[in-house]
Amino acid sequence: MKVAIEALSGSQLCSTRALRYDPIKITRPSRLKAPLKPLALSSCLNTSFNLNHEYQEREKLSPLQPEDENPQSFKLPVVIRHSATVSRCFWDGKELKFVSVDGIDGFSLWDFSLQYEDWLRKLGEVCRAAVRNFLLPREVSANYLEYVKWKFLHRVFSSALQVLATQAMFRAIGIGYSRSLPSAAAVNWVLKDGLGRLSRCIYTASLASAFDTNLKRVRFSTSILFSLSIGIELLTPAFPQYFLLLATIANIARQISLACHLATGSAVHRSFAISDNLGEVSAKAQIQTVCFDNVGLLLAATLNILLRNNQRLLAALPFVVYPIFSAIDLFGIYQGLRHVHLQTLTKDRLELIINIFIKPGYVPSPAEVSDREGIDFLWSKGRELLPIRIGGLNLEKKMPKLCLMTMRSLKDEDFYFICMESLNNGSRIKDHGILLCLREGARTEDLITGLLQACYIRNKLLRDKISLENVLEARVSSNSLPIEWVTLMEESRRFVRDNLGRLKDQMSGLGWICQNILLSTQEQARYSFVADG
């Protein structure tokens, strides 16, 4: 059991939340009487132990040793916390002793009767500390507790639904009836599991990079898929002749959701670990899952016991609770993901940071970016004007002349280029976008520089519609770069040169991981520069 030892300075013994003792009960030799006044514990002992100045003054007024005792005895400036007890080191002239300063040692039945409320409160604090140490890591970010609360809601109702779905599938294959065929049921079960695992491998291989770049979106989407799989399993008793088909579809969805959960779990846990205690956070997450799932199992068992005498209601129970439980489950997942503040940078996350940096003029924290980006559903993408894309040239569409002129002006020292690209065949603003194309060997700093310049260009074009119209018209009617585009590029380069260092310093100070930018497979496309001899 861990023992925490902290030294108490003689001049200042204070902390953010000091512990007050009024008065202090100390266990000493039998001829000393301890006061019976109530104790006042104002802070839980799960943090570092400190005493305030009032405690020092009371020590002066009530010395530990009478005048006739050994003058060589004295107190040591060391307090030891061991489990739920707190003791201070004391030298009685012959040996080292530990004197209780929390009033736990040497209590009697009379003391307990006088201090019942105080002891009851202490018992509650000890129980809360024990539960906290069992379920929660020692050092995590401030948003972790909110995440665990919503995780509890999600796991309880998800576990209850899984129990009801399993019961439904057992009824569908005839377990418990005399006409059941165990061998056929076993074959069907193995077949559906095999197809589910195969689909899981295919899904994981096809979306490997999306687990990093679109973590919240993928995780919530697969959670919806998992909820639908439970609904399909609940339908198997109604259509027993299609058991294998329904069970296989449900298991495929379940395996895909499981693959996403395992792939993204480490990134979620890393966002909460603040002292390189990723292993502890992951271990506590498993404990939480087991405990919360058992609560859900208890909930499902309670519902079955209450309706055991009415088979009709028992059969209809899954269809009644499924929409309610699944809605609560998905709501808990959604709210929990909102409290996951990722410090890693993706293209979308970095673009959001830069847009705030350009307009309001400051760098947002991971918590603020998490609130702004939300879950980022697929259907909410691409609604902004002049969207910025990182990647290679789109060879399937006609290349704008502005892009040709930009590539023609490239030099050996350039590690990226920015140009307009056509999204559709129309001539309106919403039919165009901005392309940031990176060169082979480009570093993370080049990516940040290019995206900062592209965001500035877009902001400038949207504010100055005249320049935007001139650029769009010149892209097809001129054999050289339009003067508006050249002027805008020079202005954007000056802005980047003046503000890039400040942007990076503020991002690093807020905890953003700037050493690497997570990009999808399409965003990792690069071009090579070939100098003509």
pTM recorded for the entire structure: 0.69
pLDDT per residue over 459-483, tens digit each? 988 887 656 666 666 554 555 667 7
pLDDT of amino acid 43: 36
- In angstroms and rounded to an integer, the radius of gyration of the C-alpha atoms of the chain is 33
Confidence of residue 36 (pLDDT cuts 50, 70, 90): very low
Helix (H, G, I), strand (E, B) or coil at 94: coil
CB 504 within 8 A of CB 517: no
| Better-predicted residue by pLDDT, 419 or 449 | 449
Helices (H) and strands (E) counted in the chain, each on its own, are: 16, 10
Confidence of residue 385 (pLDDT cuts 50, 70, 90): confident
Confidence of residue 432 (pLDDT cuts 50, 70, 90): confident
Q: Tell me which range, 140-149, 325-334, 386-395, is most confidently predicted by mean pLDDT.
A: 325-334
Helix (H, G, I), strand (E, B) or coil at 422: strand
Indicate the helix (H) or strand (E) that contains 202: helix 182-206
pLDDT of amino acid 181: 47
Please state which of the ranges 212-216, 217-221, 494-498 shows the lowest mean pLDDT: 212-216
**b/e map of 402-440 (b: 16 or more CB within 10 Å)?**
bbebbeeebeeeebbbbbbbbeeeeeeeeebbbbbbbbe
pLDDT of amino acid 71: 56
- Does position 5 have pLDDT exceeding 50, yes or no? no
pLDDT of amino acid 350: 94
User: What is the residue type of 263?
Assistant: A
- The side-by-side arrangement of strands in the sheet containing 74-82 is 3-7, 74-82, 85-91, 96-100
- Does position 496 have pLDDT exceeding 50, yes or no? yes
CB 529 within 8 A of CB 410: yes
Indicate the helix (H) or strand (E) that contains 170: helix 144-173
Average per-residue pLDDT for the chain: 76
Confidence of residue 8 (pLDDT cuts 50, 70, 90): very low
Q: How far apart are the C-alpha atoms of 139 and 267, rounded to whole Å?
A: 17
CB 148 within 8 A of CB 286: no
**b/e map of 36-59 (b: 16 or more CB within 10 Å)?**
eeebebeeebbeebbbbeebeeee
- Does position 485 have pLDDT exceeding 90, yes or no? no
Pairing of strands 96-100, 388-390: unpaired
pLDDT per residue over 165-209, tens digit each? 888 887 877 654 444 445 555 555 566 666 667 777 777 666 666
| Better-predicted residue by pLDDT, 216 or 177 | 216
- Does position 10 have pLDDT exceeding 50, yes or no? no
Helix (H, G, I), strand (E, B) or coil at 343: coil
| Better-predicted residue by pLDDT, 178 or 274 | 274
Alpha helices in 478-519 (DSSP H): 483-509
CB 517 within 8 A of CB 448: yes
pLDDT per residue over 507-522, tens digit each? 999 989 988 898 888 8
Pair of tokens at residue 67:
């005048």
pLDDT per residue over 120-150, tens digit each? 777 777 788 888 888 888 888 888 999 999 9
Confidence of residue 377 (pLDDT cuts 50, 70, 90): low
Q: Tell me which range, 98-102, 315-319, 387-391, is most confidently predicted by mean pLDDT.
A: 387-391
pLDDT of amino acid 397: 73
| Better-predicted residue by pLDDT, 8 or 384 | 384
- Does position 263 have pLDDT exceeding 90, yes or no? no
Mean of the pLDDT values across residues 14-29? 38
pLDDT of amino acid 302: 92
Please state which of the ranges 248-252, 478-482, 492-496 shows the lowest mean pLDDT: 478-482
CATH 1.20.1250.20 domain residues, the chain: 142-340
* Domain 142-340 listed as CATH 2.40.110.20: no
- Does position 388 have pLDDT exceeding 90, yes or no? yes
Share of the chain above pLDDT 90, in %: 27
Strand partners, 74: 91
| Better-predicted residue by pLDDT, 116 or 432 | 432
Confidence of residue 153 (pLDDT cuts 50, 70, 90): very high
pLDDT per residue over 290-328, tens digit each? 999 999 999 999 998 998 888 888 888 888 999 999 999
Pair of tokens at residue 118:
């105080």
Tokens 């948003």 label which residue?
143
Cis omega (within 30 of 0) for bond into 23: yes
DSSP string, 270-332: HHHBSSS-HHHHHHHHHHHHHHHHHHHHHHHHHHHHHTTT-HHHHHHHHHHHHHHHHHHHHHH
Share of the chain above pLDDT 70, in %: 71
pLDDT of amino acid 99: 74
